[in-house]
Structure 1
Amino acid sequence: MNPLSTGDPLRLGPYRLLGVLGEGGMGKVYIGQDNTGHTAAVKVLRPELAHDQNLAQRFVREAQMAQAVTSTGVARVLGAHTEGGRPWIATEFLTGPTLDQAVGAHGPFDDSAVRALAAAIARTLTDIHTAGLVHRDLKPSNIVLTSSGPRVIDFGIARPEHGLTLTTTGEVPITPGYGAPEQVLGQRAGAPADVFSLGAVLVYAASGARAFDGGHVAAVQYEVVHGEPQLDLIPEQLRLLIAPCLSKDPAFRPTPGQITGAFAPPRGADRVWRHGPLASDIKQRERTVHELTTVVSGSGTSQRISRRRLITTLAVGGTVLAAGGGSAAWWIRGHEEPDPFALPPAAKTPEARTLSATTVSGRKPTPLWGPLPVITKDSPGPLPVRDVIVVGAKNGGIAAHSVIDGKRRWTAPEVDVAGGYRSLSDGLIAAVDTKGMLVTFVASTGEPRWKVPAEAKNIVATDDIAVYVATKNGRLRSISRSNGETLWTVRVPVDLKTKSPTGSAARGRLVVASGAEAGDVVAVDAGDGHELWKLVNPSSIDGAPVSPVISGDIVYINGATLTARSLSDGNELWASSSIVEGKTQPAGPPLVHGNTVYVSQGPQIGGYSDEEGAEEWTSLKGYFIYSPVAVQGNGVFAISSGSAVPDVKVWAIEQDTGKKAWTYPLTKNAGRYWVVGDGNRIFVRDGQSLLALPVFA
């Protein structure tokens, strides 16, 4: 997001322009706001190109195509001016990640989510084809996931089914791997071409991998025309439904209506847009956009936001929203100056191969790699971030190791490991150096990025807007991710000096727990730091650390028991306790996985419905007191330490039965232990050693 510059219009039609979303050799896309406060993405052809007949024709055609489709599954055109002056098109903002962003951040969709996606896009294609159009460029980046469902954007190369292409000789008007064979061969492409593209999209959604791939564009296009789609990573039931969409012969592909019926998502499948990690992502973006485009006066009336505030805040943490009109590759090709605060793209997560449950049952697993003696005794728990796992390095600072083989990728010796480390949208690692500076590094490579003075002692939490730190004098401070400025500093009624505080931030709230024994929990407004509510001493009798976790509108707080509380006011929604011989067993750090909250409670691991607190799963008995919990594949993993003899083991428990699948012995009296999962791997801290264990399907 850049400010307006000399030569930029201040207004186009009813829209006051606030800033530039993107620009290139062909034109610009602005963010605009009308007199009612509604925002739009306003796409404008450069004035010097307005007289280029081919480009002007293409611009006008895009406006006409988009306006012709009235489906709720596409981005609405709010207005357009295509004759005289500077042609422009205004489309609604769609607040949410694109499909490729969602899969990159949250992993492949499960069966019901793929079915919901397929049915929704198929209905939209029906509307597009009913209008007499063919989209011709359906791909993950042209599908925006909103709280009301998927929306298709970018009619930049759409055309009437009977029309001819407007591309010039040698131009490839499709995205390699998603365009149909007839498009690759330059033949007439009708509605079945969009069905082929939908099939390729569903392969990506279900597996995180492309249906057709190759070392270069020509190789990919050859595979589209002559090769077979790569469907090995897709469950068989979905594979049988998707494969017909990818038929080489358009006549053998199903119609969008047939797809809607065949995929038949189960009742409640569209819940994926409203609950769970993806829904939380969407809701956070909605909240951010609303806060960015309105301010509230003392009388409670809404006012338009200033350009400066909008530009400053929209730059935070990468893409917050998607311009409804899209921006096809032909449109934005510009390059911006390097910005140390710009979020680098997150690396892909290399997925390990899962094992068969029958082959590993009852057997000690062979580690994927390790144990490696690489962790300092004061290190926090290992932090997996896509293709690396970050730990406190034995020789000082922090180090990142490859998740594939454990080899060290990079180190940052200047970091004070006692201050902790956090991931910023999986693109950066934030930490505190020995001088109290807040420092960041590219997660995959270790490249230093921005650093700012913060007087920081510990990192408490992060969200899309800021990094929240505890200062050396015990105050809570918010540091902007967009420019490193201090947004606010406050004193809160919890001890931030005695031990390392913990926290969680989301949806405009920050919940902080004191690291000290008998500590309290406080929630503050992430916008200005003012106190919202406080929970007095939820800790267990021996003062084990409290680790709040926010998911959706709920914060889960462990300690003497596990409670689910309203994020807005702290009111208890439900509580769960495990009582053994009349004694309440303390709850370890909670893990939210899907719609289930997992937590260790003395001799057992429990799984509870995130909204109602109903018990959904329980393990057999061990001694899991204070253990973290990890969920990967079909397993729930925790550390059992033994009540009488310090016999420490990682337990793998079958998710569908609650029975023990296998155990892996750890070093006795090694000090600190931890377990965390990602990418079909279980990462284990065994004292000062790090290892990775396999998971089973």
Structure 2
Amino acid sequence: MPSPLTHDDPQAFGPYRPVARLGSGGMGTVYLARTAGGRTVALKTMHARIASDTAFRTRFRLETDAARVVGERYGAGVVDADPRAETPWFATEYVLGPPLDDAVELCGPLPEQSVRALGAALCGALGQLHASDVVHRDLKPSNVLLTAYGPKIIDFGIARAAGDDRLTRVGVAVGTPAFMSPEQASGQEHSAAGDVFALAGLLVFAATGRPPFGHGQAADLLYRVQYAEPDLTGVPSSLVPLLAQCLDKNPFRRPATDWLAAELHDGSGEFADHLPDAVLADIGRRAAEVWQIMPQRLLAPADEPDMAETVAPARWSRRRLLLTGGTATLAVAAAGTAGVWAWNERGGSGPDRPPAPGPSNRLLPRKRLDSIWQIQVDEDDLFEEVMQPGQLHVVGDMVVTVAPHLIGVTAKTGQRQWASNLMDSDWQVATDGERVLGLGPSDEGASSGKAGGDPLLVTSIDLLTGELNDPQVSLPEFNGELVGDQLVCTANGIAYVVAGRGKFVHSRFTANQTWYLFAVDLSTGKRLWTTPLPARRSGSVRLYFLSAAVVGRDLVALQEANDGTVHAVVRDTRSGAVRWDRPLAGVKASSVQLPLVTDARHLYLGAGELRALRLRDGRTAWESKSSRPGRTYGPPALKNGTLYAIEKGLGMVALDPGSGRVKWEEQGGQGVEADLKAVPVIGTDHAYSRRASKLWAIDLSSHAPTDSYRTTGNRFIAHEKSRTVISMGGNFLAAFPLR
């Protein structure tokens, strides 16, 4: 239950003001907090006394990451976070529902139908975690909250990536003894099978009111977990064989979550239909009471002055800076708390009107796609007008993206190889197909910077581990905190970078900042040349470069000018000098924030009319309005001497890149709904185009569609080595056949 704030609790964390304490432990304190607009959240902080410890900060950040992975359906959705603050914190939706142990105490052991529905839903939550190679490691009744729409798992303080032992030591048991797996109790590796063991123990508790290995001292419980048989007395007879299998001492004999879910429940009905009336009534009571909680702060002791502090804002990430200005501010104010009386983020309902019923608690831990593999990722589309969200980078056997931390995934299998906690949405990423580069603020501290903040850091990433490689090029003459810093592109061991000097402010660009484009040799760390950039209009949103690529000795780029026009600009890669600069009439900046399409002769542009500009002088080689007037096209793709694009109302067309002459048009009349925003993907025998919620395959011989695949993706890229089309969108990274 909420308790009053103490006299020395901070007054605010970012936009959130604490209202009451929800609990406190060895790592930190959890508050009930609200924004000025009334949004209520649960806000978790780290104790100031341990905030300077790197290991604890890493663990806190991993907890935030794991909460993002499980998402809003199965967990308390993360709405904001600042892991770099002096006192790190993150805010989640305030879940309106009792923890499982409170529910059992209130109404006694749950009936079988409740236990089955609860178990199936938690299988879905664990399946989502495990698909991202994350294990919870502390699944217990107090960490499962019951809502009318399904259970939510919380407290990921000791969750971690499967196989990652950086935060634990072999031989040391970490977790809650009564619900540990045998391998966890002995200090060994706790895999996804360990979470299944804990889930079974939690369901035994739900069905009987006691853990499967009883109560007692920690040492006694650890011994029983490893060597004694579970006590299943009182468990419904139909559940005993199933839970006994989950509680097998051998982790390899325990079932997978998807199989277990199907055995527990058929997915019919709403979750609320399976809950006892007393639990539903408690959910409603909590929903009503949250609005009645008013801020209360205990007075300081008589001999101690009131030292209540406001957490000083540390460096804000690029994302958070954007949220403070421009159109993106609406994203911060968008939602309210979750539960029976939740604010409806999409529909706009308020506390005096319940939201529409949520989806039934289906048993599928992942969406039903026609993909070879799929994994859950945490996307953020708030900055689509600044840069394309969730760009996909092909490098070797992997696909790399920021979602919201840099992750490396094996393209053929979907195995997540690593997730770099050093590089999140503060950083920008580029690749030349052989290496991945990152650009972001250095951790050296603002005092070492000469340009108004932390130095700028440029480095490559180890593709085996996700760690930063040496040399790490630190550039103290540029402010690495500025939101306009940009890793433009990389080629031949050279990084092309935009960086600025001056103090950061809560907007994109200001008149007192100065900006430069430079090239840096990654092998030596030396800048090869530096050239000043024209000042941006104060308050401008987009980065200097919309897209760029190196072609021979040319740095080819699209840039947005202060008047909003888009320019094609070519620079000499040896000096940065501008060869030519041409404004592009009718081109919108938001439509060309995509990888450039070029060959040795031309730059190809779509998003309206199709045109080809000569790289040597910027003049028009050909344009579609001459041969096909009035036609509208999406962004093009180029492969094996053919240019491909989606034509509105027709579908896929193939053109000669030298002349713009149409080679063929899609047949069958099924291209009317083809998405003009998605770049086509070209294989050996088929081209791929997004249409509604499907990815269509068009045969390059017959020019007609042959297959379609269900997808949530809206960005696609070919990974030719693995023969897959990689898609991203709808919080999923997935792979489809590339033929």
Instruction: Give TM-score, length-normalised by structure 2.
Output: 0.39
Larger of the two Rg values belongs to structure: 2
